[in-house]
Amino acid sequence: MRFVLIGVGSMGDVMPQLRLAAELTSRGHRAVVVGLAPYAGLAAALGVEYAPIPADTAALWPEHPARRWLALAQPGVMFATMLRRLAGSASLVNDVIIERVAPGDVVVTGIVTAGATRLLGSHLGATVVPVLFAPLLPASSAASSALAPALGGSVAALMGSSFMWRLSEQLAEAHTSDMAKRLGTRSVRPLSRGPVLMATSPTLAPPSRCWPEQVRQTGWVTAAESTGHDSLDAELSDFLASGTSPVLMTFGTCPAVSPARDVELFLTAARAAGRRVVLQSDAVARGAVNDWVYNAPGAPHASLMPRVAAVVHHGGAGTTHAALECGRPAMVVPHLGDQGYYARRVHTLGAGPQGVPRWRLGAPLLARQLRALTVGESAQRFARGAARVASSLSTEDGCGATVAALEDISGA
């Protein structure tokens, strides 16, 4: 059976698809991942066939700092920016999809390309299976939907998440309309019928009775780096062993107004809290910054996180799961999207202090949170909470369950 997996967006959209493709390949299937060109190297490292879309992730966000700040700080401006940028690359994305999808294929898609691939699948006779890597469907509990408001009861959660879900479906509009014009057919709603896989951890995102019957929750697809063929370089290993366990500070590939300013904020707060630091940033040179700071962009989380005391991160789904799988307490600094949801869940599960949005964060506040995360009774409490979550996550096999579901749906 041939699978075409489509991950349009940031690394968090591509990495789960690469992991699924690697697992499908190991089971004797042929799998190709369609994603943005900058991530082709990740596929090559895993030995996964990759079809690059000639567009860069930077194209999703304004280059001018003031415009980027506005897009990141105001949800309405952010949504409008995403719609406009996605519309600008829709034809490029559909070109590659049309080139790669053939009759009889199984297409594994995210929400942005769900409508377009459904139309193409109907035209060619291919099976299309949408997979959500975040709990985006409406639910009556804020624990089960990243789109539900944090405050209010079940009615508010269901109404709020339903409204936000309708907005989220609009992210697929440009790709769907472009494909409809090419095929001479009518547009469709992306996920209005057929099976949908919710590849989210039931530990972090408990299932909801509000989800439609065709939804299957399969568990989080662990990042491809956890396959174990990556390791830390000798210089970083020496730094980790040379003193007290440092704090890892990373915002991943999350867009930032000024990465250099973020590094300065990190280091000022860490110095005030008396903590050694491992950074992951492209704003400073790789390697030892001084005797208490080391910059290790790209170091695999599965190898690095077990050797740090705690993690400060942006709340991306992959980074959140990686820290919790390693049993590391975390402070989440959400920037956008579902990151605020993961900040709440980490705190609710007892694995870290209350998250602070990036726009509110200053060095004094970050220093206080770092001390709470690493010193005294609060640190012990967060460490116990993170260990409990890690124990629960260790019983889940989201990648295997998702691949098994895909095989079941396709009859492979």
Structure-derived torsion over alpha carbons of residues 132, 133, 139, 140, reported in degrees to the nearest 10? 170
When pLDDT is cut at 50, 70 and 90, the band that residue 390 belongs to is: very high
Q: What is the pTM of this model?
A: 0.87
When pLDDT is cut at 50, 70 and 90, the band that residue 386 belongs to is: very high
Mean pLDDT value of segment 314-330: 92
| Biggest CA-to-CA distance, the chain | 65
Q: Does residue 152 sit in helix, strand or coil?
A: coil
pLDDT in tens, 250-272: 876 655 556 778 888 888 988 88
pLDDT in tens, 33-57: 999 988 899 899 889 999 999 875 4
Please say if the pLDDT value at position 225 is more than 50.
no
Q: What's the rounded Cα separation, in Å, for the pair 316 and 333?
A: 10
Tokens in use for 306?
């077990």
Q: What pLDDT sits at residue 228?
A: 41
Residues 6+ apart with CB under 8 A from 332: 313, 314, 315, 320, 339, 342, 343, 346, 347, 352, 355
Q: Please spell the DSSP secondary structure of 66-132, one letter per residue.
A: HHHHHHHH-HHHHHHHHHHHHHHHHHHHHHHHHHH--TT-EEEE-STTHHHHHHHHHHHT-EEEEEE
162-168's contacts with Cβ under 8 Å and 24+ in sequence apart are: 162/138, 165/136, 165/137, 165/138, 167/79, 168/111, 168/136
Q: What pLDDT sits at residue 229?
A: 39
Q: What is the mean pLDDT of the chain?
A: 87
Tokens in use for 73?
């700080």
Of 159-173, 226-240, 291-305, 337-351, minimum mean pLDDT range? 226-240
Q: What's the rounded Cα separation, in Å, for the pair 236 and 230?
A: 13
Q: How many CB atoms lie within 10 A of CB 245?
A: 16
Q: What's the rounded Cα separation, in Å, for the pair 294 and 277?
A: 6
Q: What pLDDT sits at residue 61?
A: 57
Nearest CA-CA partner of 189 in 203, 158, 168: 168
pLDDT in tens, 147-157: 998 888 899 99
Please say if the pLDDT value at position 59 is more than 70.
no
When pLDDT is cut at 50, 70 and 90, the band that residue 71 belongs to is: low
Q: What pLDDT sits at residue 302?
A: 86
Phi, psi of 181 (to 5 degrees): -65, -40
Q: What pLDDT sits at residue 74?
A: 56
Q: Please spell the DSSP secondary structure of 303-331, one letter per residue.
A: HHGGGSSEEEE---HHHHHHHHHTT--EE
Mean pLDDT value of segment 211-228: 76
Q: What's the rounded Cα separation, in Å, for the pair 279 and 295?
A: 4
Tokens in use for 385?
């909470």
Cβ–Cβ under 8 Å, residues 307 and 245: yes
Cβ–Cβ under 8 Å, residues 107 and 4: yes
71-77's contacts with Cβ under 8 Å and 24+ in sequence apart are: 72/255, 72/256, 72/257, 72/335, 72/336, 72/358, 72/359, 73/359
Please say if the pLDDT value at position 226 is more than 50.
no
Please say if the pLDDT value at position 119 is more than 90.
yes
Q: What's the rounded Cα separation, in Å, for the pair 353 and 373?
A: 7
Q: Which helix (H) or strand (E) holds 377?
A: helix 376-393
When pLDDT is cut at 50, 70 and 90, the band that residue 278 belongs to is: very high
Cβ–Cβ under 8 Å, residues 260 and 283: yes
Q: What pLDDT sits at residue 188?
A: 78
Q: What pLDDT sits at residue 358?
A: 81
Q: Write down the residue that tokens 């949908």 correspond to.
A: 196
pLDDT in tens, 340-367: 999 999 999 999 999 888 878 888 998 9
Higher per-residue pLDDT: 158 or 75: 158
Q: What pLDDT sits at residue 168?
A: 87
Please say if the pLDDT value at position 176 is more than 70.
yes
Tokens in use for 221?
């697809």
Q: Which residues of 257-289 are buried (b: 16+ CB within 10 A; e: fewer)?
A: beeeebbebbbebbeebebbbbbbbeebebeeb
